[in-house]
A and B are shown apart, each in its own frame.
Chain A
Amino acid sequence: GESVGLHLPTLSVQEGDNSIINCAYSNSASDYFIWYKQESGKGPQFIIDIRSNMDKRQGQRVTVLLNKTVKHLSLQIAATQPGDSAVYFCAETSREYGNKLVFGAGTILRVKS
């Protein structure tokens, strides 16, 4: 039968503005977190990762923040561009999960020109 799809939260930003995408993760034992970007019809593309012994990591135009106290992860994109429009997923993994990734629900980012 039909599966009921999730209604993904949507973030709309103006080109050039900064974007912040949030994720609440489920397992306090998770030790590695990844942000993936998924464009329409494509597979998840690695953006940035962070280990649980860190609270911030920066890449090119992207920053990931980890707050283990409240099990919260965020992805900040500086100077958002139209090419950043996609669905963004956080994923977590831990020794408890073995080597499988557990994905969050995703957030749609729409960049207005």
Chain B
Amino acid sequence: EPEVTQTPSHQVTQMGQEVILRCVPISNHLYFYWYRQILGQKVEFLVSFYNNEISEKSEIFDDQFSVERPDGSNFTLKIRSTKLEDSAMYFCASSLRGVSTDTQYFGPGTRLTVL
């Protein structure tokens, strides 16, 4: 069964450093998403992406964040200058279409620890 994959599984970085989290969505899916989950809290939407453009973003997704689809398979989330409060699990998801009734499938997540 196709699945979303993410690398690395755990990333430790120093405050102020740049990190890039990588995702490979399900191959025939067209819509991609990043969510994050701070320890013990809800999963929160960050951004959705379609056709090489951001289609929607949350208030969390400020200028420090960017997303990119650098090739036909990868989808990346970059945090330019990490802060302590960026420590969280980051989940990538993908869906076949972008309609509200389309199922989003999640990857296993990257645990980001900012020291």
Contacts and interface: CB of A to CB of B under 8 A. Distances in A.
A84 interface: no
Interface stretch (A10-18, A70-78, A91-99): A91-99
Band of interface residues on B? 20 to 34
Band of interface residues on A? 20 to 34
A91 B44 CA distance: 11
B14 interface: no
Given A1-B84, A43-B107, A45-B106, A103 B100 contact: no
If over half of A's interface residues share one DSSP class (helix, strand or loop), that class is named, otherwise mixed; here it is loop
B85 A32 contact: no
Contacts of B43: 44, 89, 91, 101, 103
A49 B45 contact: no
B55 A99 contact: yes
A99 B42 contact: no
Contacts of B99: 99
Interface string A73-111: 000000000000000010101110111111111100000
Interface of A: 1, 3, 5-6, 8, 31-32, 34, 36, 41-46, 49, 51, 89, 91, 93-95, 97-106
